[in-house]
Amino acid sequence: MKKTMQKPILAVGPFHPLQEEMEFFQLTVDGEIVTDIDARISYNHRGIEKISETLQFDQVPFLVSRVCGICSASHPLAYVQAVEDIVGVQPPERALYVRTIINELERVHSHMLWVGLAGHFIGYDTVFMWAWKYREPVLDLLEEITGNRNNYGNVKVGGCREDIPNELKPKILKELDGVEKKTEMLTKAVLDDPILHARLKGVGVLSKEDAIAYAATGPTVRGSGIAIDVRQDDPYAAYADLDWNVISQPEGDVFAKTVVRLLEVLESLKMAKEAVTKLPDGPIATEVKEIPPGEGCGRAEAPRGETFHYVRSDGGNRPIRHKIRAPSYVNVPSFKASCIGQHIADVTITLAAVDPCYSCTERLAVVDGHNNIIHDYETLLQMSREKTARIKKEIGAPEFKMEDI
Amino acid sequence: MNILFWIIIVPGILVLGLVASWIVRKVSALVQWRVGPPLFQPAYDVMKLMGKEILIPQDAQRTVFLTAPLVGLAGTLLLSLMLWRITVAQTAFVGDIIVAIYLMVLPSLALILGSSASASPHASIGTGREMKLVMGYELPLVLAFVVVVIKTAGSVGPGEQLSLAAIAQQTPAFSISGMLAFLAALLCVQAKLGFVPFDIAEAETELGSGVLMEYSGALLAAWKLMHALMLVALPFFLVMVFLGGFHATLPPAELGIPVVIAALMVFAGTRLLAARSKFMDVLSLLIFIGLCVWLGLGKYVLILVLLILIKNTNPRLRIDQAMKFFWVYCGIALVAAIILASIGYYYDIHWL
């Protein structure tokens, strides 16, 4: 057999020290330069949407908080907002504030986690350890409020499960002040470090046009100079009442994304403190008895970008369809625009710079191992329809459509 | 009898190397607010690796793959032995600075050979990076030694300008050109040790562990030992060339007693402060540093601490940035140092 010249491929994954999750990037390399990139995910498909259809409406928040360990306040919030959209109920104001506080604390610890990891990815382990140490008080606060460091499960349809006791307010404010001081120090250290500048500036640039074309969200797109943010554009919870700014940087490189995240931490701390001081009195939940038939959408700005939940109800006690779009689903494909032509050393940090979360974004892909064919969603749907039609024909079933039911 | 002594001395250097690599890990951990490993952890690591299976990739060049770690280990052992004979057990001639430079390249060459023989894409990229890195730092390193030779040429005896033993009696670092050369050489040693910011060839988060990716078991243990030995030999070499060597004689008795009393006071202090956590580790760290100072090894500890601090306060550089750093910045600084040193030598100005 004639041997063909193969392109050298550097495998980042399926298990690689770069990231703790399963993902597979095939970097086609020419020396140190990456000429092409192929991303494969779906090593950890958990079928969350299907499981959700088997659970009752009030059980689902606990499931979707496990979509992502770090965004475990945003996903339930988006789901709950979708269900509230169906019911048409407005949660009491105190519940909205509690939701805001928890979501902002989540953003703080998520961004600190990313800063630490980014330090680790470029070999700066001291930043890794320090950022994670600074993040600890936030997790402790979240534990004190909700009972868990992650996977809070604190929202329910019509309000919140756990309240923030008024006597906890001074402690929260004090701890947040401490975190703010340390974050300011870290921000200054990162912004002034000449080697970090050399290492991150002009690296993995995602241009404004590409960011729009790939429909990226969150800090990824705000680092490219597009100031979109669900909290600002479609305010939910108590965001409309608070005084805050959307942070964006025009450069589009990894450094800009770092700056956006660090400044967002400071902004989030400010918002959380304001929300704690303004926390109104009153109940934290209104009772919701039944979910009427209908469909609803919920959006929330997770630390990684916009997370979107669609829920359809048929009047029973379970959602009949629950669709989740996690932010990494749109952020991961943007590697195609930002990684090609870069050094390997730059590509690895660029891969990490969108703060990807692979298990959130897993989609089913059926791979036929013998012929190396990957079936995408459309082909699978097509195949499924053909099979249904074939079976119908075999058993002689009457023709009817979904709408007729 | 003499030969037997040298056979025993070599494991002694190995033990020193393992202790040095423990210091690196422990001090890094303390900088990063971690607890860090116990004193014997590096030794446990090597012992555990010795008992593990050796996997050889199917497409690997078996002979080169298997012998490369041993070549590297042998080269470093020879270097340590040479330095040992210059400082502790002095003999008439043990080799000059040129031999040392050759022996110092051997570990990197062995690494390049071994990783390129392992037939792994990650290792091959690591090999390329290691080659570029060697080409990057060898030039400033040799230039730095040229500065030293110029600085010491007037003071050492005729025909001894390149002799390490003669150079070790001088302290060229106490001058402008000597200090420049020392700092450049320190960074070259950082690169030779494969520490951040120059751990480009291993780059855990990019290439797995790059050059060492396919090594396992006893072969990996050999690499680890080699690295531990380099942790002793390279700073030793710097001390001898730049800082005037160390005279490994114990301090006189009247100085010895205050040192022991001070060590005991530190002992009591740490006991009171660190109630029960980390106590033994901190104590052994202190005792080791105290011992080093007592034995005249304080300069070695100083260099080691400098290396660790650079390691922990920098991100990893890209390979092109590292080469530019060595050739342009270090190169220019060293050319200036050579000119200064020549002027100083010609007009007999010692501080230049």
pLDDT tens, residue by residue, A184-227: 988 888 888 888 888 888 888 888 998 899 888 989 999 998 98
The DSSP code for B32 is: T
- For residue A268 the two structure tokens come to 């989030």
Residues of B within 8 A of A195 (CB-CB) are 197, 314-315, 317
pLDDT of residue B249: 45
| DSSP bridge partners of A312 | A295, A321
Taking only the tens place, the pLDDT of each residue in B262-271 is: 666 665 565 5
Residue B280 within any structural domain of the chain: no
For residue A132, the one-letter residue type is W
Q: Give A59-97 pLDDT, tens digit per residue.
A: 999 999 888 888 889 999 999 999 999 999 999 999 999
For residue A310, what are the CA distances in angstroms to A59, A84, A313, A326?
Answer: 16, 11, 10, 12
Query: How many other C-beta atoms lie within 10 A of the C-beta of residue A13?
Result: 19
Tokens of B302: 């100083």
Judged by a CB distance cut-off of 8 A, whether residue B301 touches chain A is no
Q: Which of B133, B206, B308, B312 to mutate to test the interface with A (most CBs of A within 10 A)?
A: B206
- Whether residues A10 and B208 touch (CB distance < 8 A) is answered with no
**Tokens linked to B87:** 């400082």
Domain count of chain B?
1
Q: Which residues contact B11 (CB under 8 A, 6 or more apart)?
A: none
Tell me the C-alpha to C-alpha distance, in Å, between residue A57 and each of A75, A182, A319, B347.
14, 40, 6, 90
Residue B234 CA to residue B157 CA, distance in Å, equals 25
- Chain B residues lying within 8 Å of A346, measured CB to CB: 318
Q: Does B25 touch chain A (CB under 8 A)?
A: no
Q: Measure the CA–CA gap between B159 and A178, rounded to whole angstroms.
A: 65
Q: Is residue B7 part of a domain?
A: yes
| DSSP letter, residue B138 | H
Residue from the list B32, B33, B316 with its beta carbon closest to the beta carbon of A123: B316
- Asked if residue B271 is part of any domain, the answer here is no
Check B121 against A120: CB less than 8 A apart: no
Q: Is residue B137 part of a domain?
A: yes
User: Is A344–B122 a contact, with Cβ atoms under 8 angstroms apart?
Assistant: no
Q: Quote the CA–CA distance of B306 and B44 in Å, as a whole number.
A: 26
Encoded amino acid at B132, one letter: K
Per-window interface: B 63-122 vs A, CB < 8 A: 121-122
Cross-chain CB nearest to A126 (options B31, B200, B320) = B31
**CB pair distance less than 8 Å for A344 and B199:** no
Ramachandran angles phi, psi of A295, nearest 5°: -135, 150
Q: Which residues of chain B have pLDDT under 70?
A: 1-11, 87-94, 246-297
Are B182 and B240 a contacting pair, CB within 8 Å? Answer: no
Question: CB distance A345–B208 less than 8 Å?
Answer: no
CA distances from B132 to A218, B28, B319, B323 (A): 39, 27, 8, 7
Q: Does residue B58 sit within a domain?
A: yes
Mean pLDDT of chain A: 86
Q: What is the identity of the amino acid at B33?
A: W
Give the least confident one: A39-53, A340-354, A370-384.
Answer: A370-384
- Tell me, yes or no, if B35 comes closer than 8 A to chain A by beta carbon: no
| pLDDT tens readout for residues A142-171 | 999 888 888 888 898 988 988 888 898 999
| pLDDT reported for residue B253 | 47
Which pLDDT score, from 0 to 100, does residue A77 have? 92
CB of B86 closer than 8 Å to CB of B79: no
Total-model pTM: 0.84
Nearest to B208 by CA among A142, A344, A300, A100: A344
CA nearest to B29 within chain A: A126
CB atoms within 10 A of CB A10: 19
Instruction: For A124, name the nearest residue in chain B, comparing CA atoms only.
Output: B315
Residue B83 · residue B240 · CB < 8 Å? yes
Is residue B253, in this structure, part of any structural domain at all? no
Rounded Cα distance between A91 and B303, Å, is: 63
Interface residue B31 vs chain A (CB under 8 A): yes
Is-contact B246 B232, C-beta < 8 A? no
Cis peptide bond N-terminal to B315, omega within 30? no
- Closest approach of chain A CAs to the CA of B133, in angstroms? 14
Range A286-305 average pLDDT = 90
Which residues constitute the domain of residue B145?
2-248+296-347
* Out of A119, A127, A199, closest to residue B318 by CB: A199
At B53, the amino acid letter reads E
Alpha-carbon gap, residue A256 to B78, rounded angstroms: 49
CB contact under 8 A, B318 and A29: no
Inside any domain, residue B175: yes
What is the pLDDT, as a whole number, of residue B275? 47
Rounded Cα distance, B127 and A400, in Å = 65
Q: What is the pLDDT of residue B267?
A: 57
B59–chain A Cβ distance below 8 A for any pair: no
In this complex, the residue of B121, B125, B199 whose CB is nearest that of residue A123 is: B199
Per-residue model confidence (pLDDT) at position B327: 92
Q: Domains in chain A and their CATH numbers?
A: 48-326 (1.10.645.10), 365-405 (no CATH)
Q: What ipTM score was computed for the predicted complex, to two decimals?
A: 0.79
Does B322 touch chain A if contact means CB atoms closer than 8 Å? no
Tokens of A161: 């499960």
Span A19-39, average pLDDT: 84
Whether B266 maps to a domain, the answer reads: no
Name the minimum distance, in Å, from the CA of B322 to any CA of chain A.
11
Length of chain B: 352
Mutate to test the interface with B, among A122, A134, A346 (most CBs of B within 10 A): A122
Alpha helices in chain B (DSSP H): 2-31, 41-50, 62-87, 97-116, 121-152, 164-167, 176-192, 204-207, 217-242, 253-273, 279-294, 298-312, 319-324, 331-347
Average pLDDT of span A294-302: 91
Q: What is the 3-state secondary structure (H, E, C) of chain A?
A: CCCCCCCCEEEECCCECCECCCCEEEEEEECCEEEEEEEECCCCCCCHHHHHHHCCCCCHHHHHCCCCCCCCCHHHHHHHHHHHHHHCCCCCHHHHHHHHHHHHHHHHHHHHHHHHHHHHHCCCHHHHHHHHHHHHHHHHHHHHHHCCCCCCCCEECCEECCCCCHHHHHHHHHHHHHHHHHHHHHHHHHHHCHHHHHHHCCCCCCCHHHHHHCCCCHHHHHCCCCCCCHHHHCCCCCHHHCCCCCCCCCCCCHHHHHHHHHHHHHHHHHHHHHHHHHCCCCCCECCCCCCCCEEEEEEEEECCEEEEEEEEECCCCCEEEEEEECCHHHHHHHHHHHCCCCEHHHHHHHHHHCCCCCHHHCCCCEEECCCCEEECHHHHHHHHHHHHHHHHHHHCCCCCCHHHC
Q: How far B301 CA lies from chain A's nearest CA (Å)? A: 21
Q: Using the beta-carbon criterion (under 8 Å), do B205 and A11 form an inter-chain contact?
A: no
Q: DSSP 3-state assignment of B30?
A: helix
How far apart are alpha carbons B149 and B335 in whole angstroms? 14
B212/A contact by beta carbon, under 8 A: no
At B166 the pLDDT is 76
List Cβ neighbours of A245 (8 Å cut-off, separation of 6 or more): A267
Q: Report chain B residues whose CB lies below 8 A from the CB of A122.
A: 205, 315-316
Chain A residues within an 8 Å CB radius of B317: 195, 198-199
| DSSP secondary structure string for all residues of B202-250 | T-HHHHTTGGGTT--HHHHHHHHHHHHHHHHHHHHHHHHHHS-----PP
pLDDT of the residue at B250: 46
* Whole-number Å distance between alpha carbons of A223 and A69: 24
Bridge-based pairing state of the strands A305-313 and A294-302: antiparallel
Q: Collapsing DSSP states into helix, strand and coil, what is residue B173?
A: coil
Instruction: Give the residue among A387, A391, A304 at the shortest CA–CA distance from A113.
Output: A304
Instruction: State how far residue B285 is from chain A, nearest Cα, in angstroms.
Output: 21
Give the SS3 label for residue B163: strand
